[in-house]
Structure 1
Amino acid sequence: MFRNTYQSGLLSILFSIGSKPLQIWDKTTKNGYVKRVTDDDIQSLVLEIFGANVSTTFISCPLDAKKTLGIKLPFFVMVVKNLSRNFTFEVQVIDDRNIKRRFRASNFQSTTRVKPFICTMPMRLDEGWNQVQFNLAEFTKKAYGTNYVETLRVQVHANCRLRRIYFSETLYSEEELPSEYKLYLPMKKSLELQNNSISSSAFNSLQSTNSSVKTD
């Protein structure tokens, strides 16, 4: 979708108060819903994803499953509200070995697991609104010893409220962000994925599994 687009600074793929926030997203709902609601804390429209089972209620981008995002910017940022229920999201990337890898973070998982094609990890969100910052290039290098090339897909599951999802070429402070990217509410930068979520034991197990990954 964005492979042939000049990518610099910030690239937004979801904004809850836009005219069509899910224009490039597909949604799946079973025993749940995806709808816009007014959040009392920020007094503004947000996207709520709610379901009895996180695996059956989610949104995914791009809309067409045969297409890919083609976003090369290495930082994934999500402004999300903790609803104190099970919540998970997933980012699929491709590396310089031309292998697709998925990174999945969940607030109901306690340990990190690294397998050849998927890395699952625990996520801790503070109460209220959080800013999730995910260094995709660093995680690809740490988990698989390869280089991040681009993001292919993003999938966000129940249960959460979303304000914005975007990619950036670097991490910006709140003061550096354009006004339309600010929440104007004290936000906690949660989900410290950059350095310490993948344990050394996970990397030890990775060394044995990664050798079996075919690169052709």
Structure 2
Amino acid sequence: MFANSIHPSTVSIFSASGSSPLQLFSSSVDKDLPADSFIHLLHDSASSPMPPERSIMIRPLRLSQQEATLPECGHELDQTALHIQSPDIRKTFICCPPESSEGIELGLKHPWVHIQVRNLGREWSFEVGLIDRASKMLRVRCSTFQRQPKIIQTQTTPLIHLPLSFPSITDHTLTTWSTISLHLASLLSKATTLAAATYVTADNDAEDGGHEQLGAAYDLPSSGYSHIAYIKIYATCRLRRIWFSEAALGQRIPWEFELYSATSNL
């Protein structure tokens, strides 16, 4: 998709406030749960417009009773977000490149990916496909329900499943929005070490938590990071932006990437 393009230091592939936010993505919704599963653009602080008829939107996670009575206190965004919701996260997601684009890879070489996401108090997951310089792929899935790092043995590409957690909510928490940053290059370099120290699961047991056994050797990517093949964002969350960069988040980001509340900058 971007393999033959000149890459600036920062590339945004999704912005909920863009004219066509999902232009580079395909989307999938669980058709067996039509009332509870949908993907919908809305204004974050107002939670409107409402989703399609017969859909039931979950209530966003509140920080405190004060926020429930004083919504203007600034914990939510005065911006558009993409609401992705489903009880079964495996079947409701967005993916770039589109899943129908067989053989097409994202092709960005940036070592960092950043995801602006809102914790809705439900299980959430995202996944990236990484390619090394020998054209081998490693799938990396991060999930809030995963408790320990685990390698899943598949017939095609190995998958590393990593635990993910949102910041704890305290009396001093400003918002349930977070920017999650992942250093893609280091994941490839640490894959072999992780394989030697963690558990593995056979592919046919991966989804139901089947019997775990100590892992054997894998044909893991080991020749250094080349580029990212795809990114997939699952339910349940609100999504503001996805971008790739050469540097970590500590450096100043473009002003349009910032998160803004109705009353002050978050």
On whether the aligned pair clears a TM of 0.5, the verdict is: yes
Contact 1:114 1:143 in 2 (8 A): no
Q: Give the secondary-structure state (helix, strand or coil) at the position aligned to 1:131.
A: strand
Residues in 1 aligned to 2:125 and 2:249: alpha-carbon distance in whole angstroms: 24
Q: Where does residue 184 of structure 1 map in the other structure?
A: 260
TM-score for the superposition, normalised by structure 1:
0.82
| Matching of residue 170 in structure 1 with residue 247 in structure 2 | yes
Give, in angstroms, the shift of residue 115 of structure 1.
4.6
CA distance in 2: counterparts of 1:172 and 1:119, whole angstroms: 24
d(CA) in 2 for partners of 1:6, 1:97: 22
- Residue 37 of structure 1: aligned partner: 42
Q: Is this contact kept in 2: 1:79–1:164, CA < 8 A?
A: yes
**1:22 aligned counterpart, secondary structure:** coil
Larger relative strand fraction: 1
Question: 1:31-56, CA deviations, whole angstroms, 9 ceiling, x for partnerless residues?
Answer: 21111011111121100100120001
Q: Does 1:77 align with 2:114?
A: yes
Is contact 2:114-2:181 (8 Å) kept?
Answer: yes
1:65 aligned residue? 101
Partner of 2:82: 47
Answer yes or no: is 1:13 the counterpart of 2:13.
Answer: yes
**Equivalent position amino acid for 1:125 in 2:** F
Aligned counterpart in structure 1 of residue 131 of structure 2, from 94, 103, 114: 94
Provide the rounded CA distance (Å) in 2 between the counterparts of 1:45 and 1:115: 36
The match for 1:160 is 237
CA distance in structure 1 between the partners assigned to 2:227 and 2:23 by the alignment: 21
For these two proteins, the number of residue pairs brought into alignment is 186
Q: Distance in 2 between matches of 1:163 and 1:42?
A: 10
Larger Rg: 2
Q: Is the 8 A contact 2:111 2:246 kept in 1?
A: yes
Q: Which runs of 4+ in 1 moved over 3 A?
A: 184-187
Give the secondary structure class of the aligned counterpart of 1:11. strand
**1:10 touches 1:168 (CA, 8 Å); kept in 2?**
yes
Q: How does 1:133-144 map to 2 (within 5 A)?
A: 133-144=181-192
Report if the CA contact (8 A) 1:8-1:73 is conserved.
no
Look up the match of 1:209. Answer: none
Q: Secondary structure at the match of 2:250?
A: coil
Structure 1 unpaired stretches of 5+: 188-216
* 1:99-110 correspondence runs (5 A): 99-110=136-147
**Structure 2: stretches of 5+ with no match in the other structure:** 46-75, 170-175, 193-221
Map 1:189-204 onto structure 2 (within 5 A): none
Q: CA deviation at 1:93?
A: 1.0
**Aligned residues of 2:78 and 2:260 also touching (Cα < 8 A):** no
Name the % identity. 31
Task: Give the TM-score taking structure 2 as reference length.
Answer: 0.67
